[in-house]
Amino acid sequence: MDVCGIDPGLGTTGYAVIRAGAGSLNIIEAGVLTTNSRTAIDHRLIELADGFREVLRQWEPAVVGVEQLYAHYKHPRTAVQMAHARGVLLETAARTGASIRHFSATHIKRYLTGNGRASKLQIQRAIQTAFNLAALPEPNDVADALAVGVCCARDLADARLEAAV
């Protein structure tokens, strides 16, 4: 089963398509979708949706895992921009018929590192280890998307095991 992990952002959205099967996880594709900060927000959202639609069209993941919105109260503008981007990404995924799962950042971090407050570097190292990568995944948006994908794939596997028991 292919799973797409998303780390939403208006300027940069990380995405990762992971193939989960027979106790293994493999990276199919990972990258970032970017928008031009000098462009009006409505055009940026269209650009983001178009880029994500192409990823979904190419790989047809059965499940899309998305990081839930979190922003510090000191940065409300960032939270609003992320919410716009997340909404467009969710709408785009929903139109494909893929199942959508939501994960908090602390859940993802705890799952990968055992620490819900893990740093970006700790997440990058956990992903590097999980996939036996020669180098840290860069940029950290890609590492975060891979982390969402891993968490989603493992969550689905756990649910299947529970259903089988």
Helix, strand, or coil (residue 76): helix
In angstroms, rounded to a whole number, what is the distance separating the alpha carbons of residues 60 and 99? 11
Q: In what order do the strands lie in the sheet with 99-103?
A: 24-34, 12-21, 2-7, 63-67, 99-103
Q: Is 7 a catalytic residue?
A: yes
CA dist 68 → 20, 36, 65, 129 (Å): 22, 23, 9, 24
Q: Which of 2, 7, 91, 155 is catalytic?
A: 7
Q: Which of 42, 67, 91, 158 is catalytic?
A: 67
Handedness of CA 22, 18, 116, 70 (dihedral sign): negative
Q: Which of 29, 60, 91, 141 is catalytic?
A: 141
Q: Which residues are catalytic?
A: 7, 67, 141
